[in-house]
Chain A
Amino acid sequence: MARFRDEFEEFAGLSRRYPSEIMKQQGEGKKIVCYYGSRVPVEIIHASGALQYLLFDGGDTGPGEAALQYLLPFINAQALYQVGQHVAGLNLVTPIADRIIVDCKEADSVRVGDVFEFLQLPVWKLGVPQDWDREYAFKYYKQQLENLKDELGRLMGEEVTNDRLDESIKKYNRIRELLSLIGALRKQSPPVIGGEDFIRLNHFALRNDADASIIHLERIYEALQKEESEFQEGAPRILVSGRGFAFGDYTPLRIVEECGGVLVTELLDEGIVQPGKAKVGGDPIGNIAQLYYRDMVPSCFFTPSWGERWGKIESLIEEYKVSGMLYYMPSFDVIYDYEYPIFSKRADEKGIPFEMIESSYNFSREATETLRTRVESFIKICGR
Chain B
Amino acid sequence: MAKKDWHKEYLVKCAGFGDPPWDKELDDMLEKWRKVANKLKLTDEDLEYIVTDWVPSNFDIELEGTRKVIGVLTAEAVDLMMASERKARGEKLVYGVLPAHTPFYRALKFTDPKVNTYFVDANFISFVQPLFHKIGPFLDFAEEHGVRYGCRHCALNKTRYTLLRQGIVPLPDVSWIWGFICDQAPKSDEFIQEYWNKDYPVIHSRWSHHGAAHEKEYQNKDMVEYLGGVMRDGYERVCKLLGIEVDEGAIIRALEERRAYLAKYEKLSQFMAADPPPFSGEIPLILAHGLWAVFNTGYEYYSEALNAVLKDAERRVAKGEGIVPKGSPSGMMWFMPFCNPFIMRMFEENGVAIAFCEGLLPSKADLEPPKFEDPFEANAEAFLKEAMITNWGTKADLTVEKMGTYDVDFMTWGFEDFDRWLGSDQKLCLAYVEKKTGKPCFYVEGDIWEDRDYSQEAMRTRVETICEIVKARVKKGVS
Q: Which residues of A contact B (CB under 8 A)?
A: 69-75, 104-108, 110-111, 114-115, 117-118, 123, 125-131, 134, 136-137, 140, 143-144, 301, 303-307, 331-335, 337-338, 341-342, 345
CB-based contact B420/A118 at 8 Å: no
- Within the assembled complex, what's the spacing in Å between the Cα atoms of A241 and B229? 34
Could you tell me which residues of chain B, from 259 to 285, have a CB within 8 Å of some CB in chain A? none
CB-based contact B204/A335 at 8 Å: no
From known contacts A75-B424, A136-B229, A334-B183, infer whether A306 and B152 are also in contact, taking CB-CB under 8 Å.
Answer: no
- Within the assembled complex, what's the spacing in Å between the Cα atoms of A378 and B187? 29
Q: Tell which of B195, B209, B226 touches A345, judged by Cβ atoms closer than 8 Å.
A: B195
Chain B residues in 8 Å Cβ range of A136:
226, 229-230, 233
7 of the cross-chain contacts (CB-CB < 8 Å) are A107-B182, A111-B424, A114-B428, A118-B428, A137-B206, A303-B187, A332-B152
Least CB distance, A114 to chain B, in whole angstroms = 5
Q: Interface size (B, Cβ < 8 Å)?
A: 49
Least CB distance, A236 to chain B, in whole angstroms = 26
Chain B residues in 8 Å Cβ range of A128:
208, 210
Chain A CB within 8 A of B207 CB: yes
CB-based contact B183/A107 at 8 Å: yes
- Within the assembled complex, what's the spacing in Å between the Cα atoms of A69 and B207? 27
Chain A residues in 8 Å Cβ range of B123:
none
Chain A CB within 8 A of B19 CB: no
CB-based contact A140/B226 at 8 Å: yes
Closest 9 pairs (CB-CB, A-B): A127-B210, A125-B210, A337-B151, A303-B204, A104-B210, A127-B208, A117-B213, A107-B420, A130-B206
- Within the assembled complex, what's the spacing in Å between the Cα atoms of A71 and B427? 6
CB-based contact B210/A338 at 8 Å: no
From known contacts A125-B211, A130-B206, A136-B229, infer whether A72 and B424 are also in contact, taking CB-CB under 8 Å.
Answer: yes
Least CB distance, A66 to chain B, in whole angstroms = 13
Least CB distance, B160 to chain A, in whole angstroms = 13
CB-based contact A108/B420 at 8 Å: yes
Q: Mark B176-191, 1 if CB is under 8 A from A, else 0.
A: 0101001110111011
**Which secondary structure dominates where chain B touches chain A?**
mixed
Could you tell me which residues of chain B, from 420 to 440, have a CB within 8 Å of some CB in chain A? 420-421, 423-428, 431-432
Apart from A74-B420, A136-B226, 20 more pairs, CB < 8 Å: A72-B417, A72-B426, A74-B417, A106-B183, A107-B421, A110-B210, A111-B424, A114-B213, A118-B213, A125-B209, A125-B210, A127-B210, A134-B233, A136-B229, A137-B206, A301-B187, A337-B153, A338-B153, A338-B190, A342-B191
CB-based contact B425/A111 at 8 Å: yes
CB-based contact B187/A338 at 8 Å: yes
Give the one of A108, A127, A144 with max B CB within 10 A: A127
From known contacts A75-B424, A117-B393, A118-B432, infer whether A104 and B209 are also in contact, taking CB-CB under 8 Å.
Answer: yes
Chain A CB within 8 A of B364 CB: no
CB-based contact B427/A69 at 8 Å: yes
Chain B residues in 8 Å Cβ range of A303:
177, 179, 186-187, 190, 204, 206
- Within the assembled complex, what's the spacing in Å between the Cα atoms of A341 and B210? 30
Least CB distance, A302 to chain B, in whole angstroms = 9
Chain A residues in 8 Å Cβ range of B431:
118
Least CB distance, A138 to chain B, in whole angstroms = 12
Q: Which residues of B contact A (CB under 8 A)?
A: 146-148, 151-153, 177, 179, 182-184, 186-188, 190-191, 194-195, 202, 204-213, 222, 226, 229-230, 233, 391-393, 417-418, 420-421, 423-428, 431-432
Chain B residues in 8 Å Cβ range of A104:
208-210
Q: Tell which of A75, A114, A130, A143 touches B183, judged by Cβ atoms closer than 8 Å.
A: A130
- Within the assembled complex, what's the spacing in Å between the Cα atoms of A127 and B210? 5
CB-based contact B212/A117 at 8 Å: yes
Give the one of A73, A137, A144, A307 with max B CB within 10 A: A137
For A116, give the chain B residue with the smallest CB separation.
B213
Least CB distance, B8 to chain A, in whole angstroms = 43
CB-based contact A131/B392 at 8 Å: no
From known contacts A70-B428, A74-B420, infer whether A341 and B195 are also in contact, taking CB-CB under 8 Å.
Answer: yes
Least CB distance, B87 to chain A, in whole angstroms = 24
Chain B residues in 8 Å Cβ range of A126:
210
Least CB distance, A243 to chain B, in whole angstroms = 13
CB-based contact B427/A304 at 8 Å: no
Chain B residues in 8 Å Cβ range of A333:
151
CB-based contact B152/A74 at 8 Å: yes
CB-based contact B195/A74 at 8 Å: no
Chain A residues in 8 Å Cβ range of B424:
71-72, 75, 107-108, 111
